[in-house]
Structure formats: C-alpha cells, structure tokens
Structure 1
Amino acid sequence: MSNLKIAIQKSGRLSDDSIKLFKECGIKFEVGKSKLKSTSRNFPADFLFLRDDDIPGYVEDGVADVGIVGENVLVEYGKDVDTAKALGFSKCRLSLAVPREVDYPGIEYFEGKSIATSYPNLLKKYLDKKGVNAQIHIISGSVEIAPGIGLAEGVCDIVSTGGTLLSNGLKEVEEIFQSEALMISNKGLSDEKRVLLESLLFRINAVQKAQSHKYVLLNAPNAKIDDIIRVMPGMRSPTITPLKQEGWSSIHSVLKESDFWENIETMREAGAEGILVIPIEKMIS
C-alpha cells in the first residue's frame, strides 16, 4: 500500500496546530526546520512541508493527496479540490485596516485609494460587492508597512489578535472574510488512498470530540439523582454506583464542556458534592 501524502505548512501557527493535531492522533513523524519531507513511523503517511499558498496547487495536481490549509488561502487561489473536513483551529479573519489617526467614515473611504494586500482576489470580490473602486497593490509579505512608506492608504491582511496591526500604527475597520484550517484532498484519490483518508479522519474526529467533552464524576443523595441526571444525561445515560454511605450514590457521565458550565449550579443546588471534571484523551462514538 502506498503512503498517503499529506502537505502541511512548513512554519507558522497553522503548521504548529497541524503538527499538534497529528501528534494527538498518535501519528509519529520527525519535524525539523530544515525538513521538507518526513515519513510516519506508525501510520502509512508521508508529510510534505510546504509554503501555505503552494498547498492547494500541490493537492489539485496530485503531488500531495491531502493538505491542511487556511480557508482564506484556498478561496484566494481557487483550486479545484475537495474539502474533507473543517478543522476548527487557526481561526482568523481577513480585514481592511487604516492608520490609527484616520477618522474612518465607512467603506467609501477606500474609493479611489490604494490598498496593499496578499489577497487580491478576495479583496476585489469584496470591493466589487460594496461598489468601491480602489487600486490594489499586491505584496507577498510585510503588508502592514505599506501605509508607513507611502505605498498605500490602507491594507487588507489576516488578523488573529490585532497585535501586529496595533504595533504598526493601524486599526481594523472592515472584516471581509472569516477563515479556519481546512483539510483538503485531491479529487482523484484512489480507493486505497480514500481508505487511508477515512482512517485519518476517524482519528481526528475522536480527538476533537474528546476536546469538547469532559468526564464528570460527582456524589449525590439518592433522593436527588433524578433531578441531577436531568441536566447531565451523558452520551447515552449516566452510570450510577451506590456508595458505602447509605442513601448516597456516585454519578459518572460524559458531558459537553459548555453543557457542564451551564448546569453546574443546578447540580450543586440539587445536592451534588465532590464534583470532579476530567479531560478525555480520545472519544469514539
């Protein structure tokens, strides 16, 4: 069986998040700054470390079978690939920004002005939708410096926390696109490769489901068990075990973390004691 070729960003936050995900899936492979390729020791996969904007093209051409890429990059380059899974990490937004001292009136500010960006297609689509005619300067990196050197009146760039804009004297004024990490795949994958991809997605789903759930244990008086399990039903139903102390039981359940925090006070008011919340490493439905 030939290995599944997986392309990931060679450096940056998306690279770190992707590598972390594969490690959590139990897939072992070597990572290094100078490495361009690595073969897993325990899963039939070869990892290719590439520039993020090259990944959609490599997957479309079949050089890589699968890739992890930002949704912003995929849409910008418009390659013909399948989206295997939205991964939910490396979330960011593509935004317009102007110098902090500008009294920004609205999108009409950019009429007739110049904007520096690495995402000309996404930017043009947004400006056309808003009916704004602006000049787009395409820059491959360090977009934030453009207003400071007189190249453009504004920028369009990826924003996570806004710290980079702030440090360059800019402020975010328009959000034009929301992005997250996607797993993409070649449209012509062989049946053999599709089986490997499904195996990989099975592991990813198990890891990600576990991250959003917690194993909850608590003690409760038997008279209050029905009140408590109404707000902690679990995957199918809770496990209830009698304690040595007469009239008390231990209740075990798996809950979504959000459900736990929404209902914790109700559980306590119903008499729950000794509540333990334990992380889950993997969760198989």
Structure 2
Amino acid sequence: MKAAGLKAIDTVMESTAVLVKSRNTKNELVELIASRIRGVITAQRYVLCQYNIPREKLATASSITPGKRAPTVTALEDDGWVAVSSMVEKKSIATVMDQLTEVGATDILVLTIANSRTA
C-alpha cells in the first residue's frame, strides 16, 4: 500500500482463525497442522541474533540472549572467542544489541526467521 501511495483509513473487519476437526480426523494430522501454525507464529515473534564474544564474557552475554532453550555456542578459529546464535523477541532486539555491544560482543547480526519448530 505504501509503495502505491495508499494509506489505511478504517478497519472493515477483524477475524480469528480456528482449527476445527471432525471425529473422523486423525489426531496426527491435526497435530501436524497445529505444529506448522505454531512454527509460523513463533517465527513472526522472534529473530535470530548471532554474534562473536570472548569466551570469558560468554556467561554475561548468554544472560542477555538466553534463547528459547539455550543459545548455540560454537568455538571460533580465533582462540578465546566463540560465536553465539540465539532466538530473541523482535520487540527487544534493539536493546539486546546495545547490551551485547556494552559487554564486548562484535559482528552482531540479526536474521529473519521464516519458520520454526520447537518442542
């Protein structure tokens, strides 16, 4: 709309989606569909934050980006440094990046998540 020079002037309708199953539907199929929907909803709320940090500052940085379960930590070729990947809520990513910079993180990247599966 923006690209065409248009703007919203009023809401015509708001709706809610509901997943309905019949008694004859297999529960596995319903769970598969629900899992896919949850994955898309999660992907819309989170981004993937990746950064490098000295290993001695990892605990502090991990407290800033704990992820949904835990951050992924990978050793770098540069001794004493690690790379960290963690899911962060979109709404707080600017503050998180500021905090990471303050504790010594470098090469901070924020990537869009297209879909997700979590337990």
Unaligned stretches of 5+ residues in structure 1: 1-159, 165-178
1:259 is aligned to 92
- Equivalences for residues 1-285 of structure 1 within 5 A: 161-162=8-9, 180-184=14-18, 189-193=21-25, 195=27, 196-285=29-118
Q: Percent identity?
A: 27
* C-alpha distance 181-248 of structure 1, shift in aligned 2 (>3 A): same
Conservation of the 8 A alpha-carbon contact between 1:234 and 1:254: yes
The 3-state SS of whatever aligns with 2:25 is helix
The residue type equivalent to 1:253 in the other structure is: S
Does the CA-based 8 Å contact 1:232-1:260 persist in structure 2? Answer: no
Name 1:59's counterpart in structure 2: none
Contact 2:97–2:108 (CA under 8 A) maintained in structure 1: no
Question: C-alpha offsets along residues 99-155 of structure 1, whole Å, 9 cap, x if unaligned?
Answer: xxxxxxxxxxxxxxxxxxxxxxxxxxxxxxxxxxxxxxxxxxxxxxxxxxxxxxxxx
* TM-score calculated relative to the size of structure 1: 0.35
Higher strand share: 1
In structure 2, relative to structure 1, the CA distance for the partners of 1:202 and 1:270 (3 Å cut) is same
Q: 1:255 offset after TM fit, Å?
A: 1.6
Q: Which runs of 4+ in 1 moved over 3 A?
A: 193-199
Aligned CA-pair RMSD: 2.5
When the two structures are aligned, how many residues end up with a matched partner?
110
Instruction: Measure the CA separation in 2 of the matches of 1:185 and 1:242.
Output: 43
TM normalised by structure 2 equals: 0.76
Letter matched to residue 270 of structure 1: V
**What is the alpha-carbon distance in structure 1 between the residues aligned to residue 62 and residue 85 of structure 2?**
10
Q: Which has the higher contact order (CA 8 A, sep 6+)?
A: 2
Gaps of 5+ in 2: 1-6
SS at match of 2:87: strand
Closer/same/farther in 2, CA of residues 282 and 185 from structure 1, 3 Å limit: closer
2-side partners of 1:180 and 1:202: how far apart? Answer: 24
Distance 2:93 2:114 in 1: 18
Letter in 2 for 1:182: T
Deviation at 1:266, TM superposition (A): 0.7
One-letter code of the match for 1:181? S
Task: Work out the CA distance in 2 between the residues paired with 1:219 and 1:233.
Answer: 15
